[in-house]
Amino acid sequence: MTKSDGKVMASFLVRRIFLHLSFLFFTSACFGNDHESILKGIRDNLLAISPEMPIEVIAGSEIPWLFQISLKDGSILYADKNGHFLFAGQIFDMRSGRFNNLTEKSRKKIRSDLLSLSPESEMVIFPSKTPEPLATITVFTDIDCGYCRKLHREVAMLNQLGVTVRYLAFPRAGIGSDSYEKIVAAWCSKDPKDALTRAKLGEDIGDLYCDNPIEKQLKLGERLGVSGTPAIFFEDGTLQPGYIEADEMATRLGIR
């Protein structure tokens, strides 16, 4: 890294700290040395201050004195082991001489775990054309999204490159909208892959209804922090927000 690069990174980190790092002074509760007591003390203190805080998990982090608080919307906070301070921001490990984003590493694990909650039997899947898939992407899609349609036109190319594309529904306009009705019809058709393709080409595939996972998938996307489509998740939990070309996708997946 050049001095110029170092200055740019330092400036970037300073801006990030001022924009995203906040400190909320806790009450001076005294927690025991026992690990479980510390976790319970942090949780109790948080909920005493904010009873509606959507805490998913509180666990240790790679920093001995810092504990990670995962919220149900995918956000991550940190608290010191004494429960005196709450930190909102990103943690970087620089011991290797590089900026290793520990917060993003945790987010990837959370995303991967949440995606595992959705069975493939409820997805619309376009499998790779190679004997074994070289990579798999999971895409939250909306039939009326222009860039979703652009990505779908390259699904055949991705399949040829060895990429399996798994679709989950994310009608951005919400339950009961026209987009919702269209994607329900695609999922409920006898051939969902064909119906989804035709719908993305602008064809009217009619109204079809069945027991479907659309609302569940929409809520899953919201938990994962999806705010736009296409939202592309790699197998390791990496989030690629928005469309990228098939060749670039293959490069980022490490298969070209």
Residues 6+ apart with CB under 8 A from 174: 180, 218
Phi, psi (deg, nearest 5) at residue 211: -65, 125
Q: Rounded CA gap, 248 and 256, in Å?
A: 9
Q: How big, in percent rounded to 5, are the helix, strand and coil portions of the chain?
A: 40, 20, 40
Q: Rounded CA gap, 253 and 175, in Å?
A: 33
Residues annotated catalytic, as ranges:
142, 145, 148, 172
DSSP bridge partners of 101: 92
Residue 58 CA neighbour count, 13 Å, CB half: 24
Helix then strand count (H, E) for the chain reads 9, 12
Q: Is 205 helix (H, G, I), strand (E, B) or coil?
A: coil
What does R_g of the chain's alpha carbons equal in angstroms? 22
